[in-house]
């Protein structure tokens, strides 16, 4: 029975994503019919409706899909590489590194908004390299615990740096606030070109690495005895996870909890085999973020709640639930 459920789960998640995507194109401040949207996606239809659907709503929906996909797989890779199922991109400092880079950019060049995506991407990757460097320097080798502890320390330091700069440059804080909340309002097709290549390529690489990551989850010694190059695999996984998160940050800002929530949901659905966990996590994450963005812009219409706030409202209680269920393990 479970094998049959797993067989139909991926098609179900894919069809659900298509359905939510169409809802995202139909619903909004101006609601269109299914036929109007279908015509707009083709070569016919009202020019104004085509403009709204193709230039405003479609990039937003696709951006949300890619963001959920990238962050979910990023979290799954981090949890597999560190052996800690509470690990996520914001825990090891990727989000704070991107945020600090953006804040510095806004302080030095207040009007250079076009450079913010590049600054966020560079900050996220630089933070990962810094965390890995600190981890190796502290323990003499690359270990699960030191990577996580170094990430927490760097994240705290960079968060303090953001607060410090916000006090010195209050004008930059206004621009940074929208970035820190996270959302898809104003996403343009050109914003998704490079991130989409990184995210889709990264998910494909993660799926290729899945068999070796399954062995890594058994423990470093067992994985090494089975021929896995543990240090190289962990390094590749951490850098790949950071690249996925950084690609999302460039256009969506700082979205939290997706990388934490989705891997747990996926494991409950299909178990711990990463060969199936990677695609299930990708589709589950895409559905979650699209649904969050859709709910944020329809439930409170005409006001709009950014997807990042909606995800935080879902993620914080979920995180506490995980801690409660595992209270014996962390006692």
Please report the DSSP string for 215-250 in residue order.
HHTT-HHHHHHTT--HHHHHHHHHHHHHHHHHHHHH
Quick check: is 331 in a domain? Answer: no
Quick check: is 276 in a domain? Answer: yes
Quick check: is 320 in a domain? Answer: yes
Can you give the CATH number for the domain in which 79 is found? 1.10.3470.10
Distance CA 149, CA 183 (A): 29
Name, in order, each residue with C-beta under 8 angstroms of 124's C-beta and a sequence gap of 6 or more.
94, 95, 97, 98, 101, 242, 245, 246, 249
pLDDT at 5: 63
pLDDT at 303: 79
**Mean pLDDT per 10-residue section of the chain, whose length is 331 residues:** 70 95 90 89 84 92 96 94 83 87 87 80 88 76 72 90 88 78 88 93 96 91 90 90 90 88 91 93 96 89 84 82 65 47
Quick check: is 182 in a domain? Answer: yes
pLDDT at 93: 85
Quick check: is 330 in a domain? Answer: no
Closest CA to 262 of 241, 289, 230, 235: 289
- Structurally, how many domains does the chain consist of? 1
Quick check: is 302 in a domain? Answer: yes
Quick check: is 307 in a domain? Answer: yes
pLDDT at 301: 76
Distance CA 295, CA 313 (A): 12
Quick check: is 211 in a domain? Answer: yes
Which domain does 267 fall in, by range? 2-325
pLDDT at 330: 47
pLDDT at 141: 58
Closest CA to 94 of 169, 147, 172: 147
């Amino acid at each position: 029975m479970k094998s049959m459920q797993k067989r139909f789960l991926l098609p179900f998640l894919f069809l659900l994503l298509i359905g939510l995507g169409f809802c995202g194109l139909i619903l909004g401040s101006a609601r269109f019919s299914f036929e109007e949207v279908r015509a707009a996606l083709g070569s016919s239809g009202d020019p104004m409706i085509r403009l709204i659907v193709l230039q405003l709503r479609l990039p937003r929906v696709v951006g949300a899909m890619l963001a959920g996909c990238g962050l979910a797989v990023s979290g799954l890779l981090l949890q597999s590489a560190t052996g800690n199922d509470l690990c996520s991109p914001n825990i090891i400092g990727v989000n704070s590194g991107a945020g600090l880079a953006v804040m510095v950019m806004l302080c030095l060049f207040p009007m250079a908004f076009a450079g913010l995506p590049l600054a966020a991407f560079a900050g996220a990757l630089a933070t990962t390299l810094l965390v890995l460097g600190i981890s190796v320097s502290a323990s003499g080798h690359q270990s699960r615990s030191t990577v996580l502890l170094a990430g927490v320390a760097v994240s705290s330091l960079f968060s303090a740096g953001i607060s410090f700069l916000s006090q010195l440059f209050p004008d930059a804080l206004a621009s940074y606030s929208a970035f820190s909340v996270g959302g898809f309002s104003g996403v343009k097709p050109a914003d998704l070109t490079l991130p989409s290549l990184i995210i889709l390529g990264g998910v494909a690489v993660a799926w290729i690495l899945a068999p070796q990551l399954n062995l890594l989850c058994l423990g470093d010694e067992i994985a090494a005895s089975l021929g896995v190059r543990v240090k190289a695999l962990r390094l590749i996984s951490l850098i790949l996870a950071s690249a996925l998160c950084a690609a999302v940050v460039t256009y969506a800002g700082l979205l939290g909890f997706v990388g934490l929530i989705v891997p747990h949901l996926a494991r409950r659905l299909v178990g711990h085999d990463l060969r199936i966990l990677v695609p299930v996590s990708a589709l589950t994450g895409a559905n979650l973020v699209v649904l969050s963005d859709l709910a944020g812009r329809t439930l409170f219409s005409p006001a709009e709640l950014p997807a990042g706030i909606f995800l935080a409202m879902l993620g914080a209680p979920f995180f506490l639930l995980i801690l409660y269920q595992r209270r014996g393990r962390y006692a």
